[in-house]
Amino acid sequence: MSDLSSRKLSRRKLITTGLAATAGVSAMGVAAGIAQKYGLVPPDHGGIYGLGETLTYASQRLLTRHSLAREFSRSQISKPPFANEIEPLTDKFKRLQAGGFADWRLSVNGMVVRPASLSLDQLKSYPSHTQITMLQCEEGWSYIAEWVGVPLSHVLDVVGVLPQARYVVYFSIEPDTWESIDMADALHPQTFLTYGMNGDELPVGHGGPLRLRLPRQLGYKNVKFLTHLTVTDNLKGFGKGLGSASPEAGYAWYAGI
Ligand SMILES: Nc1nc2c(c(=O)[nH]1)N[C@H]1C(S)=C(S)[C@@H](COP(=O)(O)O)O[C@H]1N2
Ligand SMILES: [Mo]
């Protein structure tokens, strides 16, 4: 989706439609039609039951795509331990960990001019971004931490994204753990690849050595142990074609907060 304003969809029209949608299913059909027309149908939409998800995603994109997640002060950082620390126990991960992650690579390919395989040192040599934001799990708990890393937009600039790109798909070293986001979220200034947390290296329990952090979406979109990114204009070829592993397990592809 490129520039929405150039397509003359007024905020008023969407709000009017949104209000009308509360009045009945036929109006929801109209709203879904608008979402379809403007390319705002999420990859996991599913018939009539998908309408709610389509409307959430479409209205977020039209009304709040440039908004920022709240940032906090140092004094608000949560005290560890947090709820959900996990470690991938595969042999491959353990070998990389034993080597101090010197051989960890983030490969980037797909609709890019210069596919790349980046080491942590290379990522750390790029301009860094620090933020104190909240990670929120869909189960209801949350914590605030300070993360440091490199904006995903910078890495995308390094590889040169083709203009027809629409999504970034990202994969963990953990099997079957992958997600995707649209370009609005991929280029968002708070979306970044983190390698540090609370003044230290990013702990393995929180996804070290490398994790995607995007505070405008729920915890599960913040994939840990990141090894691969691919840029695409179509999500059909990935997994079951629903955009990520989450919808395959019953969670929404778009988890905006
Ligand atoms: N690779 C990987 N990434 C993951 C998960 C996972 O199981 N594996 N869990 C997700 C979920 S559901 C949440 S809520 C957050 C938890 O992040 P935390 O460990 O920093 O609290 O990580 C997300 N990223
Ligand atoms: Mo979660």
Q: Return the structure tokens found at 159.
A: 């590889």
* End-of-domain residue from the set 41, 64, 87: 64
Q: Are residues 7 and 111 in the same domain?
A: no
- Rounded to two decimals, the pTM is 0.85
When the pLDDT of each residue in the chain is averaged and rounded to a whole number, the result is 86
Confirm whether 229 is domain-assigned. yes
| 58-67 average pLDDT score | 76
- Whether 142 is in the pocket of ligand 1, judged by its Cβ within 6 Å, is no
Q: Are residues 162 and 125 in the same domain?
A: yes
Distance CA 29, CA 147 (A): 41
- Nearest ligand 1 atom to the CA of 85 is 19
pLDDT at 57: 86
Omega prior to 247 cis, within 30 of 0: no
C-alpha of residue 180 to centroid of ligand 2, in Å: 16
| Confidence check: pLDDT of 111 > 90 | yes
Confirm whether 206 is domain-assigned. yes
Q: Are residues 40 and 126 in the same domain?
A: no
Ligand nearest to the Cα of 84, by number: 1
Q: The CATH number of the domain where 156 resides is what?
A: 3.90.420.10
| Confidence check: pLDDT of 44 > 80 | yes
Structural domain of 50: 3-64
Q: Are residues 7 and 87 in the same domain?
A: no
- Whether 82 is in the pocket of ligand 1, judged by its Cβ within 6 Å, is yes
Give the highest mean pLDDT range of 20-34, 53-67, 239-253: 239-253
Q: Return the structure tokens found at 185.
A: 């979220």
- Whether 176 is in the pocket of ligand 1, judged by its Cβ within 6 Å, is no
Percent share of the chain, pLDDT over 70 = 83
Q: Are residues 202 and 158 in the same domain?
A: yes
Q: Which residues pair with 149 in a beta bridge?
A: 129, 194
Domain tally, the chain: 2
Distance CA 159, CA 245 (A): 25
Please report which confidence band the pLDDT of residue 26 belongs to, taking 50, 70 and 90 as the band edges: low
Confirm whether 179 is domain-assigned. yes
pLDDT at 50: 65
| Confidence check: pLDDT of 106 > 60 | yes
Percent share of the chain, pLDDT over 90 = 68
Q: Are residues 139 and 182 in the same domain?
A: yes
Q: Are residues 127 and 195 in the same domain?
A: yes
| Confidence check: pLDDT of 53 > 90 | no
Q: Are residues 123 and 228 in the same domain?
A: yes
Distance CA 175, CA 184 (A): 27
Give per-residue pLDDT as tens, 75-87.
999 997 666 767 7
| 100-119 average pLDDT score | 98
Q: Are residues 192 and 218 in the same domain?
A: yes
| Confidence check: pLDDT of 9 > 80 | no
Please report which confidence band the pLDDT of residue 2 belongs to, taking 50, 70 and 90 as the band edges: very low
Give per-residue pLDDT as tens, 162-171.
999 999 999 9
pLDDT at 167: 98
Give per-residue pLDDT as tens, 209-239.
999 999 999 999 999 999 999 999 999 999 9
Select the more confidently predicted residue: 32 or 168: 168
Give per-residue pLDDT as tens, 128-171.
999 999 999 999 899 999 999 999 999 999 999 999 999 999 99
Confirm whether 253 is domain-assigned. no
C-alpha of residue 143 to centroid of ligand 1, in Å: 12
Confirm whether 256 is domain-assigned. no
Q: Are residues 80 and 57 in the same domain?
A: no
Nearest to 155 by CA among 94, 106, 102, 217: 106
- Whether 172 is in the pocket of ligand 1, judged by its Cβ within 6 Å, is yes
Reading phi first (left if > 0) and then psi (alpha if -120 to 50, else beta), residue 93 is in alpha
Omega prior to 127 cis, within 30 of 0: no
| 30-42 average pLDDT score | 74
- Whether 84 is in the pocket of ligand 1, judged by its Cβ within 6 Å, is yes
Report every protein residue that has its C-beta within 5 angstroms of ion ligand 2: 137, 219-220
Select the more confidently predicted residue: 28 or 191: 191
* End-of-domain residue from the set 11, 46, 64: 64
